[in-house]
């Protein structure tokens, strides 16, 4: 038995997992139109590499990774690009984003796939391929995977943690994936371990998923490499990467750092599965398992092509009359979907359909009585009641002093608050205000440096003019009728030289950066 | 649009927290009535009613919705705690004055629920003790020692009209508290063992009083079991009271009562589980709670022994209330990933 550790706080919300975990994964219907957003990952949006009217094949790259932190996007089926424009996407803001719309031809014809020959390819080549295959973390953060698979020039990452904790209530997509495709998950984990030079593979699964644990253990026995399948106590947010790493290794990822700083890298089981498909079959990431649950007629898990409009998936799960909203993700950290025309993306692990019965309106908020229940529940060991006061008072400096940015927004504080305060909302507000102010400050800094640069350039030009004048002066004097006063000319010249020196010294002191754009002159 | 989290546990509210604390006060209140007569019940009811009425007026004046805020039961709790701190046979206007100090001054003038710096019940008590010292030390004697007993109707008549039944003198039904008696008689140069032999004193503390203290302990255990309070404050408070009293006792066994005497005083147990644990006016961090409660316990004994008042709970709590922001600021636990251990 592996020694397990515990993280501070945590809560036990009602699980509701059985609602959707019983039935096997089914293939969602091929929609007529797929809407593929170019930004489905953290980082820079992919750049479209097809044009309206182009025929595309299933798996064809339609958006290339742009910049370092980015990943490609692919056509989920064969068909025709009918539009590249702004569409509503799944985002808390409800804003639109650039999407490629594909009219499916119904043939679902694949592009030619090439497998990744790991024995012959060097690691950086493999990572580049994974980037081109669009791999991103499927646990929710959708960080491009190839970056996390780079152990750095000298560093080794001895421990690989595969996250199958799935701590959010209602969601069962990882549970079903582990039950049905454990072998592929472990194969993916093995490839990850090779790339990271990891020696330990730990698969953490909350102990409320005995079937998944059994399936993984059975799969692990038939493999030729060791993978430790570990049942961890069911406690939200035990599926947070930091929390799972703490439970499994007892180590805390440093604030502001990465888990690799303590020799651990963590991937979701879905990501490991997608990686195995990418390597062994050359399949890009263009489908994922989505739990559709809550107030629907047939709650279960679907394998869904990315780009499938949520409305079509919900239709397939069966609408009910009491449904009154959709959450993407779980009840603790998910967000309301404003428009179900938005497509399923790499981050869509669950569509949770709300009803007044399942999600009664939250009770009235009362003043904070400083009872400290939030602090006892906080897995980051923050003092949420203090952060709340400071955020409310717009004392953003103090919120940072009290480590606002170590908040993972898990919602535990909010959940236990007897005054029903929307604490997480206050923290998000404070964070976005701080970011906005930093941006403003950066913009102001840039403007100030531009201005300084301009002033010094003008001074330099003036000095140069003065120098030219000073150089011409004796000639002019010589041409004049007044006899040249050599002593006076020399004095003038000395004065000009002195001015020049002074200006140059001043310029050197100001040390302007070469930011002066020609347009501003 | 709703924001996450989208769910809350059903039975969880400020009202529930306050109701559990009130429940914790029930055993001690019943023991009190059993040993000292029904006057305390009348006084608790009157104080709670007065506090709720004053709270309603203040909420209305401040433009807050009256019904949901009255429903939080915090005013009931303040009234109940104040009544338990005061002599049970206090005249109605004295209790009302205390309630005004607590609800109007200490609570609403500071911004209402959650905003007050000082414990409202203790502000009420301290204000009355300073303003009406004679009335505030006129405690009902334990029934076992009293020369006469007041029934419920007689108690009500005395509290609200100031009449005692014909032929009954106030002295017959009231006495000084054990703490007060001890203080006064020590000043008269009597030794501790002499004093404690008097009938007012029981096994550990005052006769009857020690049972009320035990009932507070029981109620406190309930709060601990229901996780309304954590162990930090009661433990630190009781330890500090015991240690401080112990040091004095060892210094002069004939002059300073032992730690058990101070611990068996009802005010000690009331403070440990119901007053110093007030979340609004106490420290919030785990280490802060220890410092806050230990400071209050130390000051309680110091004021009892060296100060001018028979009991020191109210002043010690109020003094420590002042220190809370400082204590909290300097006892922040190490945040995840900042190189600390779980606190």
Half-sphere exposure of B252 (CA within 13 A, CB side): 7
A512 band by pLDDT with thresholds 50, 70 and 90: very low
Average confidence (pLDDT) over B330-341: 86
Nearest to A406 among B16, B285, B337 (CB): B337
Residue labelled with tokens 């009902």: B140
DSSP reduced 3-state for A44: coil
Would you state the pLDDT for residue A372? Answer: 93
Give the integer Cα–Cα distance in Å for A307 and A134: 14
Residue A515: what pLDDT? Answer: 46
pLDDT beyond 70 at A480: no
Residues of B in contact with A386 (CB under 8 A): 284, 328
Rounded Cα distance between B327 and A73, Å, is 54
> Which is nearest to A102 in space by CA: A290, A274, A285, A305?
A305
Q: What is the mean pLDDT of residues A209-217?
A: 97
What's the pLDDT tens digit per position in B50-86?
999 999 999 999 999 999 899 999 999 999 999 999 9
Please name which of B314, B258, B274, B324 lies closest in space to residue B27, comparing C-alpha atoms: B274
Cis peptide leading into B205, omega within 30 of 0? Answer: no
Compute the C-alpha angle B98/B101/B106, nearest 5°: 135
B29 phi, psi to nearest 5 deg:
-65, -40
Residue B127 burial (CB count, 10 A)? 18
Which among A352, A372, A192 has a CA at the least distance from the CA of A270? A192
CB atoms A332 and B114 under 8 Å? no
What topology is assigned to A18-336 in CATH? Rossmann fold (3.40.50)
What six digits make up the tokens of A349? 């692990």
Which of A325, A369, A381 is facing B335, going by the closest CB pair? A381
**Mean pLDDT of the B168-183 span:** 82
Structure tokens of A77? 């089926």
Q: How many angstroms separate the CA atoms of A163 and A177, rounded? A: 12
pLDDT over threshold 70, residue A467: yes
Phi/psi of residue B151, nearest 5 degrees: -80, 180
Count of alpha carbons within 13 Å of A177, Cβ hemisphere only?
29
User: Cβ(A331)–Cβ(A366) under 8 Å?
Assistant: no
The closest of B229, B233, B244, B215 to B303, measured between CA atoms, is B244
**Measuring CA to CA, which residue among A361, A339, A337, A355 is closest to residue A347?**
A337
Chain B residues contacting A, CB < 8 Å? 1-9, 12-14, 16-17, 68-69, 72, 74, 112-115, 230, 279-280, 282, 284-285, 328, 332-340, 342-343
Question: Residue A198 burial by CB count (10 A; 0-12/13-18/19+): exposed, middle or buried?
Answer: buried
If pLDDT is split at 50, 70 and 90, which confidence band does A29 have? very high
Mean pLDDT for A463-467 is 91
Subunit contact B6:A416, Cβ cutoff 8 A: no
> Considering only alpha carbons, which residue of chain A is nearest residue B336?
A380
pLDDT confidence of residue A256: 87
The predicted model gives A370-397 an average pLDDT of: 95
Contact B82, B119 (CB under 8 A): no
Task: Examine residue A27 and say whether the peptide bond preceding it is cis (omega within 30 degrees of 0).
Answer: no
The per-residue pLDDT for range B207-224, each reduced to its tens digit, is: 889 999 999 999 999 999
Q: How many CB atoms lie within 10 A of CB A364?
A: 12
pLDDT above 80 (res A505)? no
Interface contacts A/B by beta carbons within 8 Å: 140
**Share of residues in chain A with pLDDT > 70 (%):** 93
Q: In what order do the strands lie in the sheet with A73-74?
A: A47-48, A61-64, A73-74
Interchain contact, B113 vs A367, CB within 8 Å = yes
- pLDDT, one tens digit per residue, over A232-285 is 999 999 999 999 999 999 999 999 888 888 999 999 999 999 999 999 999 999
> H/E/C letters for each residue in chain B?
CCCCCCCCCCCCCHHHHHHHHHHHHHHHHHHHHHHHCCHHHHHHHHHHHHHHHHHHHHHHHCCCCHHHHHCCCHHHHHHHHHHHHCCCCCCHHHHHHHHHHHHHHHHHHHCCCCCCCCCHHHHHHHHHHHHCCCHHHCEECCCCCCCCCCCHHHHHHHHHHCCCCCCCCHHHHEECCHHHHHHHHHHCCCCHHHHHCCCCECCCCECCHHHHHHHHHHHHHHHHHCCCCCCHHHHHHHHHHHHHHHHHHHHCCCCCCCHHHHHCCHHHHHHHHHHCCCCCCCCCCHHHHHHHHHHHHHHHHHHHHHCCCCCCHHHHHHHHHHHHHHHHHCCCCCCCCCCCCCC
Task: List the alpha helices (DSSP H) in A265-319.
Answer: 269-281, 310-317
Distance CA A90, CA A339 (A): 8
pTM of the model: 0.85
Tell me which of B12 and B2 has the higher pLDDT: B12
- Residue A45, helix vs strand vs coil: coil
In terms of CA atoms, which chain B residue is nearest residue A257?
A: B337
Cβ-in-10-Å burial (0-12, 13-18, 19+) of A465 comes to exposed
The answer to whether the Cβ–Cβ distance between A363 and B336 falls below 8 Å is: no
Match 């509503």 to its residue by tokens: A88
**What's the mean pLDDT in A443-465?**
92
Nearest Cα neighbor of A133 from A341, A310, A366, A346 is A346
Contact of A338 with chain B, judged by CB distance below 8 Å, is answered with yes
Q: Which residue of B has its CA nearest to A368?
A: B114
Provide the shortest C-alpha distance from residue A108 to chain B (in Å): 38
Question: H-type helices in A344-422, by residue range?
Answer: 373-377, 384-392, 396-401, 412-416
The answer to whether the Cα torsion of A390, A391, A393, A398 is positive or negative is positive
Calculate how close chain A gets to B4, using CA atoms only, in Å.
Answer: 5
Closest residue of chain B to A360, computed from CA coordinates? B7
Give residue B228's pLDDT.
Answer: 93
Give yes or no for residue A489 having a pLDDT over 60.
Answer: yes
pLDDT, mean of residues B313-318? 96
Q: How many other CB atoms sit within 10 Å of the CB of residue A425?
A: 17
Is B14 in Cβ contact with A381 (below 8 Å)?
no
Min distance B271 CA to chain A CA atoms (Å) = 17
Shortest CA distance to A380 belongs to which of A254, A233, A231? A254
Alpha carbon dihedral B219, B224, B227, B230, in 10-degree steps, equals 130
Exposure of A161 by Cβ count < 10 A (0-12 exposed, 13-18 middle, 19+ buried)?
buried
Neighbours of A49 (CB within 10 A): 14
Q: How far does B96 lie from chain A, in Å, by closest CA? A: 25
Distance from CA of B331 to the nearest CA of A (A): 11
Q: Output Rg (C-alpha) for chain A, integer angstroms.
A: 30
Give the pLDDT confidence score for residue A521 in this predicted structure: 37
Supply angle C-alpha B131, B136, B139, rounded to 5: 175
Residue A514 has pLDDT above 80, yes or no: no
A253 at B interface, C-beta within 8 A: yes
Report yes or no: A296 and A318 within 8 Å, Cβ to Cβ.
yes
pLDDT digit string (tens) for B103-148? 999 999 999 999 999 999 999 999 999 999 989 988 888 887 777 7
CA angle B213, B128, B30 (to 5 degrees): 30
Strands B174-175 and A300-305 come out as: unpaired
Per-residue pLDDT of A143-174, as tens digits, reads 999 999 998 766 778 999 999 999 999 999 99
Say whether B7 and A380 touch across the interface (CB within 8 A): no
Q: Are A39 and A98 in contact (CB under 8 A)?
A: yes
With CB atoms and an 8 Å threshold, state whether B5 touches A366. no
Say what the pLDDT of residue A479 is: 60
Reduced to 3 states (helix: H, G, I; strand: E, B; else coil), residue A391 is: helix
Start-to-end CA span in chain B (Å): 36
Per-residue pLDDT band at A518 (split at 50, 70, 90): very low
Tokens linked to A13: 């919300």
Indicate the pLDDT class of residue B28, thresholds 50, 70 and 90.
Answer: very high
Distance from CA of B141 to the nearest CA of A (A): 37
Provide the 3-class DSSP secondary structure of residue A202. strand
B269 vs chain A: nearest CA distance in angstroms? 20
Of A332, A368, A416, the CB nearest to B114: A368
The token duo for B55 is: 């709270």
Enumerate the domain spans of chain A: 18-336, 367-475
DSSP H helices in A197-298: 210-221, 241-249, 269-281
Q: Which two tokens stand for residue A11?
A: 């809560």
User: Which residues in B lie closer than 8 A to residue A242 (C-beta atoms)?
Assistant: 336-337
Which of A411, A418, A422 is opposite residue B17, by nearest beta carbon?
A: A418
Q: Scanning every residue of chain B, which has its alpha carbon at the shortest distance from the alpha carbon of A326?
A: B2
Q: Which long-range contacts (CB under 8 A, 24 or more apart) does A497-502 make?
A: A497/A470, A499/A463, A499/A466, A500/A463, A500/A466, A500/A467
Residue with tokens 């005054």: A419
Please state which of the four CATH numbers 2.60.40, 1.10.10, 1.10.1060, 1.10.1510 is assigned to the domain occupying A367-475. Answer: 1.10.1060
């Amino acid at each position: 038995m592996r020694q397990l550790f515990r993280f501070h706080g945590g809560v036990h919300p009602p699980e509701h997992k059985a609602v959707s975990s019983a039935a096997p994964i089914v293939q969602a219907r091929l929609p007529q139109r797929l809407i593929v957003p170019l930004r489905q990952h953290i980082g820079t949006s992919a750049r479209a590499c097809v044009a309206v009217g182009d025929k595309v094949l299933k798996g064809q790259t339609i958006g290339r990774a742009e910049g370092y932190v980015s990943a490609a996007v692919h056509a989920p089926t064969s068909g025709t690009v009918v539009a590249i424009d702004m569409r509503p996407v799944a985002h808390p803001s409800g804003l639109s984003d650039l999407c490629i719309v594909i009219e499916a031809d119904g043939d679902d014809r694949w592009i030619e796939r090439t497998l990744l020959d790991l024995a012959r390819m060097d690691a950086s080549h493999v990572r580049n391929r994974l980037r081109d295959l669009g791999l991103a973390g499927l646990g929710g953060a959708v960080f491009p995977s190839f970056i996390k698979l780079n152990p750095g020039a000298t560093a080794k990452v001895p421990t690989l943690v595969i996250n199958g904790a799935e701590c959010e209530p209602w969601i069962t997509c990882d549970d079903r994936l582990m039950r049905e495709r454990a072998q592929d998950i472990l194969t993916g984990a093995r490839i990850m371990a090779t790339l990271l030079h990891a020696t330990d593979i730990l698969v953490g699964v909350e102990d409320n998923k005995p079937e998944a644990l059994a399936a993984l253990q059975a799969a692990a026995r038939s493999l030729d490499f060791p993978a430790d399948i570990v049942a961890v106590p069911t406690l939200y947010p035990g599926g947070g990467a930091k929390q799972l790493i703490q439970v499994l290794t007892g180590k805390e990822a440093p604030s502001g750092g990465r888990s690799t700083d303590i020799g651990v890298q963590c991937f979701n089981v879905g990501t490991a599965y997608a990686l195995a498909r990418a390597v062994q079959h050359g399949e890009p990431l263009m489908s994922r398992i989505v739990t559709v649950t809550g107030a629907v007629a047939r709650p279960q898990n679907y394998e869904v092509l990315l780009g499938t409009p949520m409305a079509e998936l919900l239709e397939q799960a069966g609408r009910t009359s009491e449904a009154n909203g959709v959450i993407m993700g779980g009840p603790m950290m998910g967000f309301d979907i404003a428009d179900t025309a938005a497509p399923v993306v790499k981050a869509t692990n669950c569509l949770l359909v709300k009803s007044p019965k399942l999600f009664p309106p939250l009770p009235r908020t009362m003043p904070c009585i400083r009872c400290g229940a939030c602090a006892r529940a906080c897995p980051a060991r923050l003092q949420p009641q203090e952060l709340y006061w400071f955020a409310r008072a717009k004392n953003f400096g103090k919120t940072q002093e009290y480590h606002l940015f170590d908040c993972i927004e898990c919602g535990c504080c909010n959940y236990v608050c007897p005054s029903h305060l929307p604490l997480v909302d206050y923290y998000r507000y404070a964070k976005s205000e701080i970011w906005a102010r930093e941006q403003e400050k950066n913009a102001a800094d840039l403007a100030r440096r531009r201005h300084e640069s301009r002033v010094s350039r003008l001074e330099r030009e003036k000095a140069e003019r003065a120098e030219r004048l000073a150089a011409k002066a004796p000639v002019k004097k010589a041409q004049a009728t007044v006899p040249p006063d050599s002593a006076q000319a020399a004095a003038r010249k000395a004065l000009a030289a002195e001015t020049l020196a002074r200006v140059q010294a001043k310029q050197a002191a100001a040390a302007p950066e070469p930011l002066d754009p020609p347009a501003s002159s | 649009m709703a924001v996450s989290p989208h769910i809350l546990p059903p039975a969880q509210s400020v009202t529930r927290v306050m109701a559990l604390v009130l429940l914790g006060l029930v055993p001690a209140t019943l023991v009190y009535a059993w040993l000292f007569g029904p006057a305390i019940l009348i006084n608790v009811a009157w104080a709670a009613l007065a506090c709720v009425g004053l709270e309603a007026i203040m909420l209305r004046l401040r433009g807050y919705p009256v019904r949901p805020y009255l429903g939080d039961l915090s005013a009931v709790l303040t009234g109940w705690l104040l009544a338990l701190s005061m002599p049970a046979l206090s005249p109605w206007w004295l209790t009302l004055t205390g309630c005004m100090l607590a609800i109007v001054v200490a609570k609403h003038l500071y911004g209402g629920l959650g905003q007050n710096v000082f414990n409202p019940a203790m502000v009420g008590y301290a204000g009355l003790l300073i303003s009406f010292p004679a009335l505030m030390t006129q405690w009902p004697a334990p029934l076992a020692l009293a020369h006469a007993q007041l029934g419920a109707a007689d108690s009500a008549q005395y509290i609200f009209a100031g009449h005692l039944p014909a032929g009954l003198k106030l002295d017959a039904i009231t006495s000084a508290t054990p703490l007060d008696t001890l203080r006064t008689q020590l000043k008269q140069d009597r030794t501790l063992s002499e004093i404690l032999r008097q009938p007012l004193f029981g096994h550990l503390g005052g006769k009857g009083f020690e049972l009320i203290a035990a009932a507070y302990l029981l109620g406190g255990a309930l709060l601990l079991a229901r996780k309304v309070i954590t162990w930090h404050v009661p433990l630190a408070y009781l330890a500090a009271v015991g240690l401080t009293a112990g040091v004095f006792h060892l210094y002069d066994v004939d002059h300073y009562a032992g730690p058990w005497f101070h611990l068996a005083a009802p005010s000690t147990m009331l403070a440990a589980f119901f007053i110093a644990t007030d979340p609004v006016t106490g420290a919030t961090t785990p280490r802060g709670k220890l410092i806050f409660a230990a400071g209050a316990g130390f000051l309680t004994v110091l004021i009892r022994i060296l100060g001018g008042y028979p009991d020191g709970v109210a002043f010690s709590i109020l003094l420590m209330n002042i220190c809370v922001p400082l204590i909290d600021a300097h006892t922040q636990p190490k945040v995840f990933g900042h190189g600390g251990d779980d606190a």
